[in-house]
């Protein structure tokens, strides 16, 4: 009987926040053209990749996905499964001596929270399989693969920092990282469907004042004018999201009223975050959001993953 070996790799899949989000147009295929300034945060899912090795195997490895959040699909609909399949198709050397690939995801990033949870998992699988099989694939190549999976995946392949994502979100330019203050993330306890928020956006008249000036924001960040940068952050999807869920606007107001330098929705929602100058102020605000609004909160140093 042929000997069987097992190999295991663990990798952290980090969430992101949108420091700004603008929609600049709609393509013929229905996808929206966007400009987003993204920042990695320490909130993360943990991905464990296990493979079994049978010497002399020539068959395509099977992919098995499991997750501790039973609300998520564990088949071909999951972006993590798609990422593993894409790696097998792109790098056939994985097939050599590999009989099966098992992926387990321990979820910490809220589902439907606008924090890029599914994209983080897809990016994590790309990075994880690259390390697991010692492929030596450069991040730029993994980012290009990630563009086939979703708008946030290329940025999240980086695993840290700040970047400008343009086009459909897949063209990424690195920026100087935001490194001021304490971040408070508020999960309201419900999710938003990205497709529905964009559909609502398409049906509305959006005031120009709700759009960020992305070029000006990038210039401020590059000039080190971080206080002024924070003062002009905008997310245009707040308009449709708040129309759909007015309680989100109340949560944003509560964060601002409790000392945040800036409060903003991330992505298409539903999570709202605040940037505070002092951790003590962020913790006081978190208590208010938890006790009065029923939010789940997460506090971190915004510069931890520069």
| Catalytic residue flag (residue 16) | yes
Distance, in Å, from the CA atom of 255 to the CA atom of 276, rounded to the nearest integer, reads 10
Tell me how far apart the alpha carbons of residues 302 and 15 are, in angstroms, rounded to a whole number.
Answer: 12
Query: Whose CA is closest to 186, among 100, 288, 84?
Result: 288
> Residue 164 phi/psi, 5° resolution?
-100, 120
- Which of 16, 45, 121, 187 is catalytic? The answer is 16
Tokens of 33: 């053209």
Nearest to 98 by CA among 180, 222, 9: 9
Q: Are 185 and 44 in contact (CB under 8 A)?
A: no
Exactly one of 121, 152, 187, 252 is catalytic; which is it? 152
Q: Give the orientation angle of helix 79-90 with respect to helix 139-146, to 10 degrees.
A: 120
139 is catalytic: no
Distance CA 286, CA 74 (A): 33
CA atoms within 13 A on the CB side of 59: 9
Cα–Cα distance measured from residue 98 to residue 92, given in angstroms and rounded to the nearest whole number: 11
| 3-class secondary structure, 212 | coil
Q: Do the bridges between strand 182-187 and strand 296-301 make them parallel or antiparallel, or are there none, so unpaired?
A: antiparallel
So which residues are the catalytic ones?
16, 152
């Amino acid at each position: 009987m042929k000997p069987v070996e097992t190999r295991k790799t663990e990798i952290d899949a980090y969430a992101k926040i949108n420091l700004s989000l603008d929609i600049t147009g709609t393509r013929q295929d229905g996808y929206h053209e966007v400009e987003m300034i993204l920042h990695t945060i320490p909130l993360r899912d943990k991905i464990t990749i296990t493979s079994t090795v049978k010497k002399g195997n020539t068959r395509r490895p099977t992919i098995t996905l499991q997750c501790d959040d039973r609300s998520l699909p564990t088949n071909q609909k999951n972006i993590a499964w798609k990422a593993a399949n894409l790696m097998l198709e792109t790098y056939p050397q994985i097939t050599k001596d590999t009989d099966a690939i098992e992926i387990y995801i321990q979820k910490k990033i809220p589902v439907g929270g606008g924090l890029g949870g599914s994209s983080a998992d897809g990016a994590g699988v790309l990075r994880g399989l690259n390390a697991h099989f010692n492929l030596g694939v450069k991040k730029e190549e993994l980012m290009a693969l990630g563009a086939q999976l979703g708008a946030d995946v290329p940025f999240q392949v980086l695993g840290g920092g700040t970047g400008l994502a343009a086009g459909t979100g897949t063209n990424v330019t690195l920026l100087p990282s935001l490194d001021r203050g304490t971040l408070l993330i508020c999960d309201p306890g419900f999710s938003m469907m990205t497709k529905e928020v964009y559909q609502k956006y398409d049906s509305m008249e959006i005031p120009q004042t709700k759009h960020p000036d992305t070029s000006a924001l990038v210039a401020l960040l590059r000039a080190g004018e971080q206080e002024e940068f924070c003062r002009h952050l905008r997310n245009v999807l707040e308009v449709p999201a708040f129309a759909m869920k007015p309680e989100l606007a109340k949560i944003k107001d509560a964060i601002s009223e409790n000392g945040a330098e800036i409060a903003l929705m991330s992505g298409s929602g539903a999570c709202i975050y605040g940037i505070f100058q002092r951790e003590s102020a962020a913790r006081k605000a978190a208590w208010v959001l938890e006790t009065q609004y029923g939010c789940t909160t997460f506090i971190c140093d915004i510069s931890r993953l520069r």
